[in-house]
Each structure stands twice: as C-alpha cells, then as structure tokens.
Chains A and B, each alone.
Chain A
Amino acid sequence: MSSEAFSVKIFKFDPSIDATPYYKEFLIETGTGQSVLDLLKEIYRNHDSDISFRFSCRLGKCGVCAVRVNGKPVLACQTTVENGDVVIEPLKGFPVIKDLIVERETYRDRLKSARPYPDRADRSGGSSVQKLWADPNASPFLCTDCLACMSSCKALSRIPWEFPGPAFFTNLARWHYHPLDRSDRPALAIRSGISHCTACKSCSKVCPKGIDVYKEAIEALEKKP
C-alpha cells in the first residue's frame, strides 16, 4: 500500500450555519481507478460525515451526481481522478442548497412553461402511433438532465434571466423531434431566448452523454422547418 496522499478540496456550505461558503481540504491516500464518487464516499466515511452530495445509479445513467471537478462539470460516478490535487465544487449557475447539492427547481419551473411533454398530441389511439412512428434517432433523447451543460454555458452565466440554458433547449429539442408532438417548438425556442446563445459550444464539449447540444438542440431549433 502506498502511503502517498493527494489533496482534495471540497466546496462546503451549509446556509443554516455558515455565513459564507468555504473549501475544506482532505488528504486522501493515493489509489488506482478511483472515481470522484469514490472520493466523496471515502470522505463521508472517514473524514467528514456531514458532507452532502447526490448519487444514485452509479453508472452514468441517472445524471444526479454532476459536480465540477477542477472547474469542469462532470458526472462524479463516471470520472476517474488521477492522483493529482482535486477541487470539487457544485455545478455553477444554480443556488447551492448544501455543499455539492444544487437547487434545480428554478430550472424546472422554467421548463414547465415550455410544456415538456408531447404537446397537442393525439393520445387517443395506438394505431395512430404506429402510423406516425418513425425513429427520430436524435441524441436529445439521451439527455439525463444532469445539468452539466448549464454549468458550462457562457450565455447562461451572463444573462440567466434572458437565456434559460442549453438543458432547456435540449429538452425542447426532445419534443421537437418527437413524432407525437404537434406544437411549434422552434417558435417557442425563439420566445425563450435561443438567440442569446453565443455559440461557444461548451455545452457540446461537456455533455457526459456525448450529445452535440449545440448542433442537435440549438441549431436544430433555430433552423426553419
């Protein structure tokens, strides 16, 4: 067993106690193949049992464990840490509830206005489904709502009140591609501020599912049908 250690700094903030957020440093023994989630579990178990973070499926499928590691938004369970020093922070662009857990409600409430379901769809009969059916084969269906893209978005960080962020448009694109959806998603995208996208494409770079958010959501919605 190597006794070497590396530093893990974690963003800590409990608004019921702390006046301001701070970073707490832990020295973790060097290991192989550790994920960020392994680190967080190790810290919870042996260093600070009051650290708060989310995780669920552990397989990169549910999307609840997204955090920033050395500034980059990633899924904690799918990111292996090299034995260098690491800073782990909550996703940017969301209010922090506690430590690494961020508040998702504001985003979700905003999404509600976009009618995030097959809108104006004919839900009456199965045969109509079959007739309409064509595999949209579109990557927005892979989106797990991990919100990593939101954390990387330049427009969102600058003008959050004008631009609802890439995850919002990925969700919209999902319905845009959906064979049952009958509403005008591109028009809704314009009303929702899609033109404020700066085309920096950071969203496409950070998506853990490899969705080219810029191309498959933003551009697809901007294109006139």
Chain B
Amino acid sequence: MITEVTDILVIGTGSAGYCSAIEAARRGRSVLLADKGLAGKSGCTVTAEQIAAVIPGMIRGDSAEIHYRDTLEAGKGLSDPALVRIMTEEAHRCIEKLERLGALFTRNRDGKYALDPMNGHSYPRSLYYKDITGKMIIDTLKAEAERIGVGVMEDVQIISLITGDNGVSGAVGLNFRYAQPVLIRARAVVLASGGAGELFPLSTNPVQSTGDGLILALKAGAVVRDIEFYQFYPVCLVYPKTLSGFVLGISQFGRLYNSRGERFMEKHDPVRMESATRDILSQAIFREIREGQVGPHGGVYLDATGLNEEIYEEYSDAISITRKHGIDLKIDRVEVRPAGHYAIGGIKINEKTETGVPGLFSAGEVTGGIHGANRLGNNSMLDTVVFGMRAGRFAAEYAAENGGEKADMEQAIGEIKRVKTLSERGVRKYAPWQIKKRLQKIMDEKVGIIKSKDQLVSAGRELKTLEDQLREETGVSARGFFFNRSLRDYLETANLLILARAIVLASLEREESRGAHFREDYPDVVGDEEAVSLEITLEGGDPVLQKRALSGETQ
C-alpha cells in the first residue's frame, strides 16, 4: 500500500480541481491532486468553449447584478441566491487572476474583450480564446500548479473518504498504474470530480464522468440536492461515430429539420427558434426522435449552411474537425440529437464551499444549488473557476487550524478488502459494461429529457434489478489492480446505479415541470415562489429524500 500525507487532497483535475489546488498551495499548504486518468485530461474543462463573466467597462448597460438576475431567472427559483451573488460578483477578479497566470482571451483591436452573446444572457458576456477556451484555461492552470509545486497522482481512483467524529481525515484509492491501494491522509478534502455524463448513451463528457464524487460525498454523509435536473446539450453529432457527442455550438445560428423536412422549432418556439434555451430545444428534438422523424442514424438534421463567414471563423475548430471526418458544415446537413451534458444538481455547499461534513469542501459540476433548475450556457466554466478558487482558499484556512487526526485505519483496510475481493471475482454471467449499457438505455428512454410517473416507476424497478445483478451476477474478469479496466467499470457502474436511483426518486417526487426537469404528466410550470429543493442522503446504501422549502428571496 502507498501512503501519502498532505494538508489538502483535491479530487479531480478539471478547472475546479486545479483552481482549488493552486489557491490552497499559494497559502502555503501542501496539496495533492488525484485523478482517475491523466491530469487535466479527464474532466470536461478541456473541451469547454466559452466562459461567461461580466467585466466592468466592456458592454454598456451590463453588470454583475444583471448577470446575477439572468442566472436566477434561468434557475427558476432553485438557485441559491448567495452562491449566485458570489459567482457573478467574483467573476471579474477570477478572470483577471487567470490572465495573470497566462490565460489568453481574445480581444478586439481596442483592447476590449471580444464577447459572444449566449442564450439567456441579457448581454454578450462570454469570453473565449478561439474555441479552445477550456483547453487554454486548463493548460494555464496546469502550468501554474507545476510552477508552484502542487503534487499530482494520476490513474488513482478514490474509492472512499475516511471519516470520523471530526470529519474527513483522508481517502482511500486504487492506483491502477502501480497496482496498489493508496491511503491519503489529509486535513481537508476538496471534491471537484465533475458530473456523470456516463448515465446516458450519448454524452458530451469524457468517459470518466461517472458521478463518483457525488457518491463519495453521500457515503461520507453529505447532502446532494436537485439531482433530478440534468442538462442535455441539444445539438450534438450522432454520426460519424468518431464524433458522436460532438457539441455543435454553431447550431444556434443554423436550422433544424426532421426527416419530413419540417423546421420543427416553428411548432415549439416560433420566436427564438434554434436559439431557444437548451431545455426547449432538447425536448423538441426528443419528441421528433420519439415519433420516429429521424434520419438513418437516429437524429434530426442540422443545416448550418449559408451562414456568415465570421460565424464559420469563430467555429473554425469545429469546422476543421468535422471536415477531417468527411463533413463540411458549410455544405452538408448533419444528424444531431441531445446528449447528456451537465449535472445541474449536486453536492449541497454553502458560501465557503463547505459540504456540512467537517473538512469536506466541494466545487464545480459536482456541486448543486448554483444553477438551480437550469444552467445558463457558459456559466459552468465560471462556476468552476470562482468556486474552485474559493474551495482552495477555505480548505487551506480549515487545514491551518484543523485536522491531522490519525486516519481510521480499520475503515481504510475494510474498503481495500472490499475492492480486493471484487478484483478476485472472475467471470460471471454479466460484465460490468453490460450493466452500464442497460442503465444508459433506461436513463435515456425514461429518466432523461421527458419524464412521466409510469416511466419513472418502471425505470426504478429496472434499476433495482440491475443493482442486484451487479452485486450477485456480475464478474470482474481481469485480476489484480494493474490497469484493471473491468474493476474500474464495476466500481463506476455501482456509483452510476446509486446516482440513477437517486435521480428517479427525486424525479418522481417533483410533480411539476421546471427548468431542465420536464414531466409530461405535469407539464405546467410552477411559479418560482413555490420552489422546493429535493435533498438526497444515503441510508444503508439507499438514497432517501427530504424536501426543503426555499424562502422566496430570489431577488
């Protein structure tokens, strides 16, 4: 067993993880970053295209206050106003910090930022660097982390947080590279492990997005809120396969058709058409798919031909990538459909990114409460940067005064034994990937864009069966820990199943349509003032639910 000792353990190496690590390290704390895959490569940041932020003096009339109101408006009464206030007000300073570290954002000749409009934002306020903004940010953060000596552990999957009377005292993981369990003693832990795109068959996320952080937090006693809100990116390529899940941001300027050649957005949102919000677009496309109005690969058609050259220039990366695969967006129609994109709900945090479990902090997509019932485009990158930096700061402050208790070795050894037993299972009736594939089908058809009671109840039953099958009849064919993909698939599928059941539970309870949660049997949208937050905790391995009324102070 490998043992590591650090002040702060950060789980996940996307933007939120790196921002936390850098802020904590700058305060003189020792920091260790852990990632299941290669650092900076396994999160969504590397594929992100823009970041929203109001920079004073850029656009006349815009302000952090309006950004705050836009975000609350999209959140439909479920956003935590205090968190949104922080995100929108600290945006400017965080962008400035990123720039000082070397991040580049495209500017006009007059030195002002080039800003893009985005659906739901009152003013153009999305910063970008070509369409490699996320990569630019993560490359910058990685370089800075390296410069100031942040430690990085790759190929390490955290399987459990170690908790005791005084909160978190570390974590246990598997190092697939060195084929050994790892014990990390830490005074504070920051969960920044991202979303769970793998819940769905088509996802814009990297394959590592399996909701591990949500389950780690739940098992440690934290609360997960509003997890029934899952955002779909409406327009993603389904074909060619080499690009399935590829986000086509250019779609807001294009036209969508079904297989009958109808521009179907005329029915659903005749004013905004293809620039409608993501939930409206996703539902419209999902309906066409359900009615079979699709092309040979199961998607509807996007026509982005005949657009302004400036638009093509801006999406040059998308155009050159698709061209390599034989598609010319300037000439060809392409097949598209919605893909799982963003977990809007997540770990409940306060202004200091505390989770309620002492020593456990959290930031980024794995958290909930900021985007409420629906997330505005380009607010997620901002969220990762603002709350990532805060998590680092508050975790560092906490670690300066707390922690250092001996990790509960019994707990750690118990976890390692559990996983070791799994690794010795051998072949059984099912392989973990088969269970995961069936889970994805259930989620896509019954728990995704359009939900109803009957479908949810049936999904809940099927998921329970899958969980039994995973526990009893599913093997782990490869042995040991050395890059054991089937073991990793098993552990991830187990996490996805708990999460899927939690989503079904909350989706059933929420008998209304709001934001990204749409119930066909309750299509009427309830007013913001009646908003109730649904909180999930874990009891005996099963998700349980509590309702929490939100005070109407959304302004």
Contact surface of A with B, Cβ cutoff 8 Å: 14, 16, 33-35, 37-38, 44-45, 49-52, 54-64, 77-80, 97-99, 101, 104, 112, 115-118, 121, 123-126, 129-130, 133, 135-136, 141-142, 144, 178-181, 210
A160 to B511, CA, bound (A): 64
Interface range on chain B: under 10, 10 to 19, 20 to 34, or 35 or more?
35 or more
- Asked if A117 and B47 make an inter-chain contact with CB atoms under 8 angstroms apart, the answer reads no
- Asked if B241 and A64 make an inter-chain contact with CB atoms under 8 angstroms apart, the answer reads no
- Asked if B47 and A62 make an inter-chain contact with CB atoms under 8 angstroms apart, the answer reads yes
- One of B280-288, B357-365, B477-485 contacting the partner: B477-485
For A136, give its contact among B104, B132, B144, B179 (CB under 8 Å).
B104
Instruction: Find the A residue at minimum CB distance from B92.
Output: A126
A121 to B102, CA, bound (A): 9
Would you list which residues of chain B between 285 and 337 have a CB under 8 Å from chain A? 320-321, 324-325
- Asked if B241 and A49 make an inter-chain contact with CB atoms under 8 angstroms apart, the answer reads no
Contacts A/B (CB < 8 Å), 13 sampled: A14-B482, A49-B477, A50-B478, A59-B321, A97-B483, A116-B146, A117-B144, A118-B101, A123-B100, A124-B100, A135-B106, A141-B136, A178-B104
B547 to A: closest C-beta gap in Å = 37
- Asked if B46 and A62 make an inter-chain contact with CB atoms under 8 angstroms apart, the answer reads yes
B99 within 8 A of A: yes
- Asked if A58 and B132 make an inter-chain contact with CB atoms under 8 angstroms apart, the answer reads no
Of the listed residues B102, B325, B431, the one surrounded by the most CB atoms of chain A closer than 10 A to its CB is B102
- Beyond A56-B42, A56-B207, A136-B104, whether A34 also contacts B99 by CB under 8 A is no
- Asked if B102 and A117 make an inter-chain contact with CB atoms under 8 angstroms apart, the answer reads yes
- Asked if B245 and A133 make an inter-chain contact with CB atoms under 8 angstroms apart, the answer reads no
- Asked if A56 and B37 make an inter-chain contact with CB atoms under 8 angstroms apart, the answer reads yes
A32 to B: closest C-beta gap in Å = 9
B243 within 8 A of A: yes
- Asked if A59 and B245 make an inter-chain contact with CB atoms under 8 angstroms apart, the answer reads yes
- Beyond A117-B102, A130-B111, A141-B132, whether A57 also contacts B241 by CB under 8 A is no
B404 within 8 A of A: no
A183 to B: closest C-beta gap in Å = 13
Contacts of A49 in B (CB 8 A): 431, 477-478, 485-486
For B240, give its contact among A33, A98, A136, A179 (CB under 8 Å).
A33
Contact surface of B with A, Cβ cutoff 8 Å: 37-38, 41-42, 46-47, 96, 99-102, 104, 106-107, 111, 132, 135-136, 139, 143-144, 146-147, 177, 179, 206-208, 239-246, 320-321, 324-325, 431, 433, 477-478, 482-486
Contacts of A130 in B (CB 8 A): 107, 111
A94 to B: closest C-beta gap in Å = 14
Instruction: Find the A residue at minimum CB distance from B179.
Output: A16
A118 to B245, CA, bound (A): 34
Contacts of B38 in A (CB 8 A): 54, 56, 62, 64, 104
Contacts of B139 in A (CB 8 A): 141
- Asked if A61 and B102 make an inter-chain contact with CB atoms under 8 angstroms apart, the answer reads no
For B242, give its contact among A63, A80, A133 (CB under 8 Å).
A80
A16 to B: closest C-beta gap in Å = 6
Instruction: Find the B residue at minimum CB distance from A77.
Output: B242
Contacts of B433 in A (CB 8 A): 44-45
A63 to B143, CA, bound (A): 17
- Asked if B102 and A118 make an inter-chain contact with CB atoms under 8 angstroms apart, the answer reads yes
Of the listed residues B106, B144, B485, the one surrounded by the most CB atoms of chain A closer than 10 A to its CB is B485
A82 to B240, CA, bound (A): 14
Main secondary structure of the interface of A (DSSP, over half): loop
- Beyond A64-B41, A133-B111, A135-B107, whether A98 also contacts B482 by CB under 8 A is yes
- Asked if B324 and A57 make an inter-chain contact with CB atoms under 8 angstroms apart, the answer reads no
B470 to A: closest C-beta gap in Å = 16
Contacts of B111 in A (CB 8 A): 130, 133
- Asked if A129 and B99 make an inter-chain contact with CB atoms under 8 angstroms apart, the answer reads yes
A195 to B: closest C-beta gap in Å = 26
B25 to A: closest C-beta gap in Å = 14
B42 to A: closest C-beta gap in Å = 5
Instruction: Find the B residue at minimum CB distance from A31.
Output: B241
A146 to B243, CA, bound (A): 18
- Asked if A117 and B147 make an inter-chain contact with CB atoms under 8 angstroms apart, the answer reads yes
Contacts of A56 in B (CB 8 A): 37-38, 41-42, 206-208
Contacts of A179 in B (CB 8 A): 104
A135 to B512, CA, bound (A): 48
Contacts of A78 in B (CB 8 A): 242, 324-325
Contacts of A77 in B (CB 8 A): 242
Instruction: Find the A residue at minimum CB distance from B111.
Output: A130
- Beyond A80-B242, A98-B482, A117-B146, whether A180 also contacts B102 by CB under 8 A is yes
- Asked if A97 and B242 make an inter-chain contact with CB atoms under 8 angstroms apart, the answer reads no
- Asked if B320 and A210 make an inter-chain contact with CB atoms under 8 angstroms apart, the answer reads yes
Instruction: Find the B residue at minimum CB distance from A123.
Output: B100
